[in-house]
Amino acid sequence: MVLDLGEQPPANSFIDQSELNSTEPKFPLRLFWCPNCFLVQLLDIVDKEYLFKNYLYMTSASKPIVEHFTKYAKEIYEEFLQGKDDPFVVEIGSNDGSLLAEFKKLGTSILGIEPATNLAKLANQSNITTTNTFFSSKVGKEIAKSRNASLVVANNVIGHVEDLQDLMEGIKILIGENGVFIFEVPYLVDLIKKLEFDTIYHEHLSYFSLLPIVNLTNRYGLEVFNVRKQSVHGGTIRVFISQKNNFKAKDSVKHFLDEEQRFGLSDIEIYRIFSVKVAEFKRKLKTELEIIKKENKSIFGYGAPAKGNVLLNYCDIDTSFLDYVIDTTPLKQGKYTPGTHIPIFPPEKILDKGAGHIALLLAWNYESEILEKEKQFREKGGKFLIPIPTPIIK
């Protein structure tokens, strides 16, 4: 074990007013590192039905992510699908269909696989054909019976999957001889470098660097032929996989593996140092908040991301510090943060706010977009407290 964030409620288990006095399920949140394959992972597994059947995170609630996916679809279409006869794109964990809608606009056939019943319904209502189920080798085989996928995409999903072996088996069948599998996952090097400990929560079972992905992929006669760094979600890698020898492997694969070796991911020491820094972070943030409270300023949470709930619960930040949280997601508004019970309001709540108000930026991964968007709040004297990687007021 390399880090223990204590017993926490699942990061997306927002609660209704009627549940404020009932006990909330909490589970151990502990990070482990495998000295053989170097995969950083959780071993305390929370049932996936419980976590994902009704899911409140919606891709479309974050404009920067929708913009990222529009670019993503165009890039990948031009690189792999243009000119193909009726290319077929399957997305695993397709959420509300935001990315598939972009591929549909480009003229491909599409199919979403989404376990959250509420999100699959929304996607189907927007004519994004979505099957409400978890992906598995069985589902992969079923789809491949009628046709192979030219492209399978999975963004911020693979880390959520418990049975990685079954996943790879299903992917191998689904992409057939010529398809490609492209996925994005948060990058472990960024998590460590930028102290993004709040991205550790029960939904995320694996915290990937490239080496364990290469080891897993090779076991299925598949090959990582390219890797590209992305800046979203605090830093992710986009990994390109196909059947062995379909594509000449780019230098990027060796570059990432060498960098990871140099960074020391295969040595337990780097994780011990990380764990000490996380404890230091808690002290620093609480001191900062206590100073602000002493100055009689009002503090609120900006964004109600899953990671924000990990930070609030780990640092014991509740309504004694934050008066409320604002968030653009309709499904989260009117609810309360899990464990800390802070009320969530629509963003309009801060339209009249300015001097004497501090926004704790829980959605720090959108810092540039949000500080730009809230120019008026800042011109009126409102300030942002950016918590990660170290608390700073802007």
Interface with ligand DWN (CB under 6 A): 57, 61-65, 156, 203, 233, 303-307, 327-329, 332, 363, 365-366, 369-370, 373
Closer to ligand DWN by CB, 8 or 148: give it.
8
How many residues in the chain?
394
Closest CB to ligand DWN among residues 144, 361: 361
Rounded distance between C-alpha atoms, residue 342 and residue 344, angstroms:
7
Instruction: Give the span between the Cα atoms of 181 and 213, in whole angstroms.
Output: 13
Shortest approach of ligand DWN to residue 5 CB, angstroms? 15
Is the Cβ of residue 27 or residue 247 nearer to ligand DWN in the bound state? 27
**Residue 69 CB, nearest distance to ligand DWN (Å)?**
11
Nearer to ligand DWN among residue 257 and residue 278 (C-beta): 278
* Least Cβ distance, residue 182 to ligand DWN (angstroms): 16
- Name the token pair of 145: 């019976």
Q: How far is the CB of 274 from ligand DWN (least distance, A)?
A: 19
Nearer to ligand DWN, 8 or 150 (CB): 8
Shortest Cβ 203–ligand DWN spacing (Å): 4
Do the Cβ atoms of 313 and 325 come closer than 8 Å?
no
CA distances for 210 relative to 40, 225, 257, 297, angstroms = 11, 12, 6, 44
Which structure tokens are listed for 322?
Answer: 């934050």
The minimum distance between CB 36 and ligand DWN, in angstroms, equals: 26
By CB neighbour count within 10 A (0-12 exposed, 13-18 middle, 19+ buried), where does 18 fall?
exposed
Q: Token pair for residue 52?
A: 């994902």
Question: From CA 16, how far away is CA 333, in angstroms rounded?
Answer: 10
Q: Which lies closer to ligand DWN via its Cβ, residue 80 or residue 197? A: 197
Radius of gyration of the chain (CA): 21
